[in-house]
Amino acid sequence: MKDTTFTANTLRTDATRKTIIAALFAALTCIGTMIIKIPTPTNGYIHPGDGFVLLSGLLLGPAWGALAAGFGSALSDLIGGYFIYVPATFIIKALTALTGFFLFKLVGKLLNTKTALPALIISGIAGEAVMVLGYFIFEIFMLSVVNDVTLSAGALASIAGIIPNIIQGIFGVIISSVLYPLLHKLA
């Protein structure tokens, strides 16, 4: 009969495994954000990294998922020269992963379907809405404070980033919805 008691070694092994998977997802998020870039008129870019942001939350849970999503995305901004975005990106992408995780669990319980797809889509859309709103608010702040323009001018200028962020979010939802069924048993 197999001994199923937890020991200090078991906990270390689980923590080590979770740390390695979180580091892997941070790296995937960073690479997914940096490698495939579609430039936007707002001097930003659309990328598939948001799929890994959502997957980080869905597969790793709230704490590890938020950290992996935040660090991977912020590292991409740091390496890419978007220095002013690094702290905001860390917070926004961590919140995106958190929102995706909690709504996935909630919607999954409420719908109680055989497939996870409806919960993936709903939680992904909500998570990406956090991303769109987060960058909209940050860019208003950045334009108003850093560039010393009025709040209304900052808000008006920030509107230009909404459509590219929505497109990026759509790709994130699609990527996470396709990859989740393949990866959820591995994490």
Residue 35: strand, helix, or coil: coil
Which residues form the domain of 115?
Answer: 9-183
pLDDT tens, residue by residue, 11-49: 567 888 899 999 999 999 999 999 988 887 777 778 899
Residue 45: strand, helix, or coil: strand
Q: Does residue 60 fall inside a structural domain?
A: yes
What are the φ and ψ backbone dihedral angles of 39, each rounded to 5 degrees?
-60, 150
* Mean pLDDT to the nearest integer, 112-119: 92
Q: Does residue 1 fall inside a structural domain?
A: no
Which region among 1-5, 19-23, 91-95, 127-131 has the lowest average model confidence (pLDDT)? 1-5
- DSSP H or E stretch at residue 29: helix 8-34
Residue 9 confidence (pLDDT): 59
Residue 43 confidence (pLDDT): 73
CATH code assigned at 17:
1.10.1760.20
Please list, in sequence order, all residues whose beta carbon lies within 8 angstroms of the beta carbon of residue 68, skipping any fewer than 6 positions away: 22, 23, 25, 26, 29, 56, 60, 97
Residue 3 confidence (pLDDT): 53
Q: Does residue 84 fall inside a structural domain?
A: yes
Residue 44: closest CA among 53, 56, 33: 33
Q: Does residue 19 fall inside a structural domain?
A: yes
Q: Does residue 86 fall inside a structural domain?
A: yes
Q: Does residue 2 fall inside a structural domain?
A: no
pLDDT tens, residue by residue, 43-69: 777 889 999 999 999 999 999 999 999
Q: Does residue 155 fall inside a structural domain?
A: yes
Residue 80 confidence (pLDDT): 92
Q: Does residue 3 fall inside a structural domain?
A: no
* Mean pLDDT to the nearest integer, 74-101: 97
pLDDT tens, residue by residue, 123-165: 999 999 999 999 999 999 988 888 888 888 888 888 988 998 9
Residue 100: closest CA among 127, 61, 65: 127
Total domains present in the chain: 1
Residue 116 confidence (pLDDT): 94
